[in-house]
Structure 1
Amino acid sequence: MIRGGSMTHARIPLGGAALLVLCGATGLAEAEVYRCEQHGRIVYTDRSCTGGRIERPDPHPSGRLNPAAQQAQADRIRRWERESAIAEATQRQADRQWLENHAREKRIEDAYQRREIMAGMTTAQIRQLLGTPDRIGKSASAQGREERWHYPDRGDGRRIVRFREGRVIAYDNAGRQQR
């Protein structure tokens, strides 16, 4: 508008329709984006994938998730982190238990090789070391089923080996109890 020889600027509001026209004219309108694999790398393009590439329309071409999707993604990440932490702790515990068991079995095997009796040995190992017992006493307790194997005095004293659930828990050699 011109008034009295001077120029004044008039503001012309751009409505929603005018804005869409401008966006379309400038190429800012939303378009499909494709996620393709090319030479082992992921490539994003506005054209369909060709050749042996994978074609997947990108659900978020703007690169942003809506708030509900962001919250869902954050929840999935927190759940994954929590489950991962639990799995790692469980694996550490299993590894620790395996190492303890392996070390105990190694000590038992070493004692067996030295022909010594040790807590944790099996009935089969004791039978191989000492032979068949003269007498076997059986009982049950709150801790489980127990057996006492009695061996005769062979010049080194009498022996009594006590088992609970098939493993040595104690033995007595010539009156000296060993655990």
Structure 2
Amino acid sequence: MLCACAPLRLAAVGVVTMLLAAPAAPAEIYRCEDKGHVRFTDRPCDAQAEPVELRAPIIVPAEPHPDLLGDSDKKSAARRKARDAADAAWVKDYTARKAAEERIRHGRMTRTVVEGMKPDDVRRLHGEPDVVTKSRGGKTERETWRYTLDDGTQLHVTFTGGAVSAVRTRESKKP
């Protein structure tokens, strides 16, 4: 059984189909000024209104891009790894410096010459050297101080770069 509204439905479907299939007409844009306010509209504001010439829009084609979040995570991980390496290097250097400072402090307390001491430290412990010998090996300049201790033992202290680099003792030969 057909109802009387069937022709109306067919007509409505036909109109909708034609509207969807019809190409969209370019709409005209008008610039309107009212009390210092500018607005754009699709209808003329007054009888003298003329459409505004618009430049063609810039269309940027969408290109596939790598995973931005993944890239960010990789960069963050690289920065974290570099920071951790720098921190580890600092801790290693700090630990070495503290150990050297402790070794020198212990040497001062026990009145023993140790590597890393400065010339003033050695002078405080043993005074001025009996003999000073200077030598140069390439770019390195060395200075060796020799002391004769109270028991006749000879103490040789070598400085490289302004710090003790070697300490040797030599027993004296008894007649």
| Alpha-carbon separation, structure 1, partners of 2:119 and 2:126 | 10
| Superposition misfits of 4+ residues, deviation over 4 angstroms | none
What SS does the aligned partner of 2:69 have? helix
Give the counterpart of 1:118 among 114, 117, 127.
114
Q: Structure 2: 5+ residue runs without aligned partners?
A: 4-9, 21-63
> Identity of counterpart residues, as a percentage?
22
Matching residue of 1:133: 129
Larger radius of gyration: 2
Q: Note the aligned Cα RMSD (angstroms).
A: 3.3
Cα pair 1:118 1:168 within 8 Å, conserved:
yes
What SS does the aligned partner of 2:141 have? strand
Residues 21-65 of structure 1, C-alpha deviation per residue, up to 9 Å, x if partnerless? xxxxxxxxxxxxxxxxxxxxxxxxxxxxxxxxxxxxxxxxxxxxx
What SS does the aligned partner of 2:67 have? helix
TM-score (norm 2): 0.56
Cα pair 1:156 1:174 within 8 Å, conserved:
no
Cα pair 1:146 1:164 within 8 Å, conserved:
yes
TM-score (norm 1): 0.55
How many residue pairs get aligned? The number is: 119
Q: 1:97 to 1:152 in 2, by over 3 A?
A: same
Cα pair 2:157 2:168 within 8 Å, conserved:
yes
| Alpha-carbon separation, structure 1, partners of 2:134 and 2:97 | 27
Q: Structure 1: 5+ residue runs without aligned partners?
A: 4-9, 19-66
Amino acid corresponding to residue 82 of structure 2 in structure 1: I
Amino acid corresponding to residue 155 of structure 2 in structure 1: R
Residue 155 of structure 1 pairs with residue 151 of structure 2: yes
| Alpha-carbon separation, structure 2, partners of 1:104 and 1:160 | 21
Matching residue of 2:47: none
Matching residue of 2:46: none
Cα pair 2:152 2:171 within 8 Å, conserved:
no
**1:9-48 matches, cutoff 5 A:** none
Amino acid corresponding to residue 171 of structure 2 in structure 1: G
